[in-house]
Amino acid sequence: MFDFNPQTLKKLRRFREIKRGYYSFVILGVFLVLSLVGELLINNRALIVSYEGELYFPTYAPFHPGTDFGLDYPYETNYRDLKQHFTDQNADAWVLLPPVPYSPFENDGSTGIFRPEPPEVAKQHYLGTDSTSRDILARLFFGTRIALFFSLGFMASVYLIGVAVGCAMGYFGGLFDMLTQRLIEIWSNIPFLYMVIIVFSVIPDTFTVTTRILILLSVMVLFSWTSMTYYMRTETYKEKVRDYVAAAVIIGSSNSRIVFRHILPNVLSTLVTFMPFTIVAAISSITALDFLGFGLPPPTPSLGELLKQGTQTLRTAPWIVMSAFGTLVVLLTLVTFIGEAIRESFDPKKFTVYK
């Protein structure tokens, strides 16, 4: 949509020079890409099973009942047991398991009791287990993935609405601006947490977890887009009176062309500097909602749910709260570093320091 002009390229170069922010960006980017194929890294389904001369790739395939591999049960194969089974039998078959062979949902009570177990490399529970013996690393990983994509979706939606409405207000001005502003003032006074509670109490329970997450996202977006409009409105007001806009009007450009091709690229820096902080806010609030019990339905893995468990088992299983808290700190720090770097590189005064 936008051509990178030399100025933007210069800003990107400056971003690369700010090492802290740049490496944070790289780390987070790698994690995002990895998390897309997370099922290959952390999963109780095997990557490859070789059985009776055939290769199976169960990860993204329909489930294989135990009977498919010569076991006697009709439900989903336990691939860790299958591996053991093949080893015991010295069969001409093998199983390749992911590095962390646990799903975020299964209760792995190897001691016969479901309770938090401390981290143990031998059992491949690298961060231990939670209060019902579920692998914490698996829950953290998929919980973080949901939180990250949730916040990316949140940011995109908020900006879409916020930018569109804000630009329209600034560009058209007048009565439209005034009415919309009043509407936004009223709208932004509706308490968001109450709305989440109310909306969630009326959602039919037959909806899938994904639908519920999307509904939660919509509710949050619905009550969060307003503050973005203020910045966009003022920026657009400022740009609107510039000569280049007047020139565009004179040569007969349409309103949408002026807004999207001329004004928007020039207010982009404001937008971009806010982005990481929007993400930070989204991650914090989804975690807070989960912590309060109004977020994602159980047993969806989530940082907030783990934090809650952690606070309840502070004495007996400190690894739960440490893992969840550590992840949250790292995640939010990375995003904040990126945000700082962006802000600095987009700052027209080169030698100011962000404090």
Partner 1 sequence: MKRLDNLRCTLLSVSMLLLVACGGESNPLSEVDLTLDDTQNILDFYAANPELITFSTLDDLPDDLVWENGMEQPEIGSPDAVKGGTYYEVLDDFPPTLRTIGPDSNFSSRSWIRDNYDMTWAMPHPNTNEYYPGMAEAWAVSMERKTVYIKINPAARWTDGEAITSDDMLFAFYFYLSDHIQAPFTTNYFASEYSNITKYDDYTFSITVPKAKPDMAAKVLQGGPAPQHFYKEFGEDFPERYQWRYAPHAGAYYIDPDEIDMGVNIVLHRLEDWWAKDNKYFRYRYNPDHINLAVVRDTAKRYEAFRRGDTDIFRIATADMWYDNLPDDDSAVANGYIHKTTFYNGGSKSNWGLWINASRAYLDNQEVRLGIQYAANWELVISNYFRGDMERLNTQNDGYGEFSHPTLTAKPFDINKALEHFANAGFSQRGPDGILVNTEGHRLAFTLSTHYERFSDVFTILKEEAIKAGLELRIEMMDGASGFRKAQEKRHDIYFVSFAASNEMYPRMWSYLHSDNAYDQAFLEDGSVNPDRKVKPQTNNLQSVAIAALDPLIDEYQDSDDKERMIELSHQIMQIHSDYASFSPGFVQPFYWTAYWRWVKWPEEFNYKFTSYPYELFIHWIDEDARQQTRDAQSSGQAFESHIAVYDQFKE
Where in 208-267 is the site for partner 1 (CB under 8 A)? Answer: 223-224, 227-228
* Residue selected from 268, 313, 318, 322 as contacting partner 1 according to rule CB under 8 A: 313
**CA–CA separation, 290 and 304 (whole Å):** 5
The binding track of 158-187 with respect to partner 1, each residue x by CB under 8 A or -, is: ------------------------------
Q: Does 63 bind partner 1 (CB under 8 A)?
A: yes
- Stretch touching partner 1 by CB under 8 A, among 14-22, 91-99, 137-145, 315-323: 315-323
* Residue selected from 3, 53, 121, 201 as contacting partner 1 according to rule CB under 8 A: 201
Q: Does 288 bind partner 1 (CB under 8 A)?
A: yes
Residue 311 beta carbon to partner 1: minimum distance, rounded to whole angstroms: 6
Indicate the residue among 8 and 59 with the shorter CB distance to partner 1: 59
Looking at residue 301, what DSSP letter applies?
-
**CA–CA separation, 150 and 287 (whole Å):** 11
Tokens of 272: 């971009």
Query: Are 183 and 250 a contacting pair, CB within 8 Å?
Result: no
292 SS3 class: helix
Indicate the residue among 8 and 270 with the shorter CB distance to partner 1: 270
* Residue selected from 1, 33, 55, 113 as contacting partner 1 according to rule CB under 8 A: 113
Q: Does 192 bind partner 1 (CB under 8 A)?
A: yes
Half-sphere exposure of 29 (CA within 13 A, CB side): 7
Q: Does 193 bind partner 1 (CB under 8 A)?
A: yes
**CA–CA separation, 339 and 151 (whole Å):** 15
CB atoms within 10 A of CB 249: 14
Helix (H) / strand (E) containing 95: strand 94-96
144: nearest Cα among 274, 32, 43, 45: 32
Please report how the helices 303-312 and 318-345 are oriented relative to each other, as an axis angle in degrees rounded to 10: 140
Q: Does 312 bind partner 1 (CB under 8 A)?
A: yes
217: nearest Cα among 164, 147, 276: 147
Indicate the residue among 4 and 75 with the shorter CB distance to partner 1: 75
Looking at residue 288, what DSSP letter applies?
H
The binding track of 123-162 with respect to partner 1, each residue x by CB under 8 A or -, is: --------xx-x----------------------------
Q: Does 68 bind partner 1 (CB under 8 A)?
A: no
Size, binding site for partner 1 by CB under 8 A: 49
* Residue selected from 48, 178, 314, 329 as contacting partner 1 according to rule CB under 8 A: 314
- Stretch touching partner 1 by CB under 8 A, among 111-119, 139-147, 241-249, 252-260: 111-119
48: nearest Cα among 7, 101, 6: 101
Burial of 116 (0-12, 13-18, 19+ CB in 10 A): buried
List residues binding partner 1 (CB under 8 A). Answer: 62-63, 65, 73-76, 105-107, 109, 112-116, 131-132, 134, 191-194, 201, 205-206, 223-224, 227-228, 274, 277-278, 280-281, 284-285, 288, 293, 297-299, 311-317
